[in-house]
Amino acid sequence: MSAVDIAAPSTGTIWDRFVADLPVGVLLENERGEVIAANDRAARLLGLSYHDLITARRPPEWELLDDSGAPLPHPAQIADQVLRIGAPLTIPVVVTRNRVPLTRLWAEHHPVQSLSQQRILVLLQPVDTDVPHSRGLLDPLTGLPNRALLLDRLEQALTRARTLGTLATLVLVDIRRMAAVNIEHGFAQGDQLLVTLAERLRQGMRADHTVARYSGDTFAVVAEHPGGTGQAIADRVEEIAGRPLRLGRRWFRPALRTAWCTSDGQASVMSVLTKAEEQLARC
C-alpha cells in the first residue's frame, strides 16, 4: 500500500480547522514517532494536556500499555514498523495513571507522505463492544484475538525481547482430525469444542500471555519470559487443551499436536511463524 499524501500541518491552517471537528483523536508523527501535530480530542483521550502531548512531556505516573498490561514498544519502533511494512497497523492501548487503567483505545497507525516526507497518521478511538469485531481483530466464534491481532502481539513481544533482553515464545496447538470430530459429533458440537478449548486456554494461561485462534482448528499462545526455553509454556498449553471434556452425552479427550519457537527478538515474525508451523507439520 502506498503512503497517502497530506498537507503539511501548521497553526491556523485548514489542517487545524479540519482535525478540530473530527470525532476521533488525530496525531501526526514523524519517522521517529514524535508528535508534530494533533487535535484537542487526541489529548483528551490520552489524558494529557495539549501542551504536554505536543512537547512530549509525560507525567511520571502516566503510561501507555497494551491490553495485556505490558508496556508498548517505543513510538519510534512502532513508526519504523509501520513505515517499513507500508500498511496500517492497529494497536489496542490502555491509558493508565499509577498503573490504574483510565481509558482503552484503538490506535490506528497509517503511513502517509507530507511534503515528500514520511509521516505516521494516528487515529485514536475509544474501544466499545462493536469495534473489535468490526475491525476483524477478534474471532467471532471464540472471542479470541484472530491471526491478524496475533501477528501484532507477536511483533510487539519480539520488539520487547530485543530491547529488554528477554525472550518471546510462540506456541501452536492443533486439534487432530477435527473434520472427523465434526462428522461424528456434528458441527455444533465441533464449534462447542473450539469454544471450550478457547475458554480453558484463556483462563489457564497467564493474564499477560496472548491466546489467539490461529486458524480453523489451531490455537496460538504468545508468551514473554526472562529466560529458559518455551518447553514449559508449550507443556502448559498442551496440558490445558488436552483435558477431557463433554461433547453432548459423551466425554471426549482432544488429540493434539503442539509446536513452539522461542526467540530473543532478533528473528522476524514470519521466521518465528514459519519455524513453528514446520515443527507442527512434523508432529
Q: What is the pTM of this model?
A: 0.56
Q: Residue 98 sits in which domain range?
A: 4-127
Q: Is residue 18 part of a domain?
A: yes
Per-residue pLDDT tens for 169-198? 999 999 988 887 777 778 888 888 899 999
Instruction: Please calculate the CA angle 9-10-11 and round it to the nearest 5 degrees.
Output: 135
Choosing from 72, 98, 127, the residue where a domain stops is 127
Would you give the DSSP letter of residue 228? Answer: S
- Residue 189 φ then ψ, to 5°: -70, -35
Choosing from 99, 127, 155, the residue where a domain stops is 127
Contact 214, 272 (CB under 8 A): no
pLDDT at residue 32, rounded to an integer: 92
Q: How far apart are the first and last CA of the chain?
A: 37
Are 120 and 156 within one domain? no
Domain containing residue 78: CATH number: 3.30.450.20
Are 80 and 179 within one domain? no
- Where does 109-249 have alpha helices with state H? 131-134, 147-164, 178-185, 187-204, 231-241
- Where does 11-164 have alpha helices with state H? 14-20, 40-45, 50-55, 75-85, 131-134, 147-164
Is pLDDT of 2 > 60?
no
Q: How far apart are CA 137 and CA 107, in angstroms?
A: 13
Average pLDDT along the chain: 84
Per-residue pLDDT tens for 216-267? 889 999 999 998 888 999 999 999 999 998 877 788 888 899 999 999 999 8
Q: How far apart are CA 242 and CA 152, in angstroms?
A: 27
278: buried, middle or exposed (CB in 10 Å: 19+, 13-18, 0-12)? exposed
Would you give the DSSP letter of residue 24? Answer: S
Q: Is residue 140 part of a domain?
A: no
Chain mean position to CA 220:
13
Q: Is residue 135 part of a domain?
A: no
Are 151 and 271 within one domain? yes
Q: How far apart are CA 117 and CA 185, in angstroms?
A: 58
Q: Is residue 246 part of a domain?
A: yes
Higher pLDDT, 168 or 109: 168
Higher pLDDT, 193 or 131: 193
Per-residue pLDDT tens for 38-92? 999 999 999 999 999 999 899 999 998 876 667 777 888 888 878 876 777 777 7
**In total, how many domains does the chain have?**
2
pLDDT at residue 212, rounded to an integer: 93
Percentage above 90 pLDDT, the chain: 41
